């Protein structure tokens, strides 16, 4: 069966990518990195974290707009920038909000470090859920449990079971734990408001618990 393709330009490179694929999929196919938090292969794209935003335009047009690369399908003649000044500013703001909300979630600190953040201007909270929705989609789409969902709005939004009671449809498979960024072995976290960990870019300062110097193992000496 012939593969249908469309021609797009990503960061100055003219590429023939499969029709129907998303910008994120096209970029990854050709080895281009776009950071993500709420995306996982084989789960429906959600676009909630917004970290994967890119700048999109078309050949011959001067107007561009920003959209999430995990949900936006490629189209013929599309011109995409993944590292433009506008995108870098947007990602830094999103990373700052993310790490302020959940400073002790490792992926939040990793994203902040990779975005080059040096300080956080917002009050630090201690949320262990970043509302990525991975657990909900895993439960619905892969485990057929339908036991989790978002409840509430705004600052009161959270992940919960119906009426906060485990339903019979929950298989106790722990698929939700498997995909949750909040249960990844954390870094040591922050102590003062506005402090960033940054150990993922300062390897020599990573804590170790074994003679092998391995970071993040699960032995009894683990200091985390």
Q: How far apart are CA 46 and CA 71, in angstroms?
A: 7
pLDDT greater at residue 185 or residue 9: 9
Determine phi and psi for 134, rounding to 5 degrees: -60, -40
Beta-strand (E) ranges in 78-172?
78-81, 149-151, 158-160
Give me 13's structure tokens: 């490179």
pTM of the model: 0.80
What are 55-77's pLDDT values in tens digits?
999 876 778 999 999 999 999 99
Q: Given this chain, do its domains 5-83 and 134-181 carry the same CATH topology?
A: no
CATH number of 5-83: 3.10.20.740, 3.40.109.10, 3.20.20.80, 3.40.50.450? Answer: 3.10.20.740
Report pLDDT for 214. Answer: 43
Q: What are phi and psi of 79, to 5 degrees?
A: -115, 120
**pLDDT tens-digit map of 174-191:** 889 889 988 765 555 555
Q: Which of 69, 51, 36 is nearest to 179 (CA)?
A: 36
CATH 3.30.70.20 matches 134-181: yes
Task: Output DSSP code: residue 3.
Answer: P
Q: In this structure, are residues 99 and 91 in contact, taking their beta carbons and an 8 Å threshold?
A: no
Residues 25, 32: Cα–Cα separation, whole Å: 10
- Please list the helix, strand and coil fractions of the chain in percent, rounded to the nearest 5, in that order: 30, 15, 55
3-state secondary structure of 155: helix
CB 140 within 8 A of CB 146: yes
Where do the structural domains in the chain lie, given as residue ranges? 5-83, 134-181
Nearest one of 208, 71, 40, 223 to 135, comparing CA atoms:
40
Token duo for residue 155: 């600052």
pLDDT per residue over 85-123, tens digit each?
999 999 999 999 998 888 888 888 888 888 888 888 888
Quickly tell me which residue has 């189209």 as its tokens: 75
């Amino acid at each position: 069966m012939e593969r249908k393709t469309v021609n797009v330009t990503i960061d100055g490179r003219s590429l023939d990518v499969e029709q129907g694929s998303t910008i994120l999929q096209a970029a990854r196919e050709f080895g281009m990195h776009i950071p993500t938090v709420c995306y996982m292969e084989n789960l429906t794209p959600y676009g909630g974290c917004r970290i994967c935003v890119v700048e999109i335009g078309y050949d011959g047009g001067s107007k561009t707009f920003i959209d999430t690369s995990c949900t936006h399908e490629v189209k013929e003649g599309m011109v995409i920038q993944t590292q433009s000044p506008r995108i870098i500013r947007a990602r830094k703001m999103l990373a700052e909000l993310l790490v302020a909300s959940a400073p002790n979630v490792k992926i939040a600190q990793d994203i902040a470090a990779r975005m080059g953040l040096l300080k956080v201007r917002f009050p630090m909270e201690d949320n262990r859920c970043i509302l990525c929705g991975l657990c909900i989609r895993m439960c619905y789409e892969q485990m057929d449990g339908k036991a989790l969902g978002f409840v509430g709005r705004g600052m009161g939004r959270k992940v919960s079971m119906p009426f906060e009671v485990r339903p019979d449809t929950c298989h106790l498979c722990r698929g939700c734990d498997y995909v949750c960024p909040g249960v990844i072995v954390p870094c040591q976290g922050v102590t003062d408001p506005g402090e960033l960990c940054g150990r993922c870019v300062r390897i020599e300062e990573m804590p170790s618990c074994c003679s092998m110097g391995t970071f993040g193992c699960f032995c009894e000496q683990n200091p985390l």
